[in-house]
Amino acid sequence: MTTRPRGIEHIGFTVPDHDEAVAFFERAFGATVLFSLVKKSDEPMGADELNSKNGLARGTAIVAVSMLRLGNGPNLEIFEIDRPKSDKPLGISDMGMHHFSINVDDIDAVTASFKAAGGKLLDGPYELSGQEEGDGNFGQFGLTPWGMLVEFEQFKSDIELDDGASETRWYPATN
pLDDT: is 24 or 56 the higher one?
24
What secondary structure letter does DSSP report for 168? P
Share of the chain above pLDDT 90, in %: 60
Indicate the CATH number of 91-175 among 3.10.180.10, 1.20.58.220, 3.40.50.11540, 3.90.1170.50: 3.10.180.10
Q: Which parts of the chain are beta strand (E)?
A: 10-14, 32-38, 45-46, 61-69, 75-82, 99-104, 120-121, 126-127, 138-143, 149-154
Residues 151-172, mean pLDDT to the nearest whole number: 89
Quick check: do 1-84 and 91-175 share a fold?
Answer: yes
Instruction: Please say if the pLDDT value at position 2 is more than 80.
Output: no
* Span 1-84 CATH architecture: Roll (3.10)
Average pLDDT over residues 3-17: 86
pLDDT tens profile 98-146: 789 999 999 999 999 999 999 999 999 999 999 999 999 999 999 999 9
Domain boundaries, the chain: 1-84, 91-175
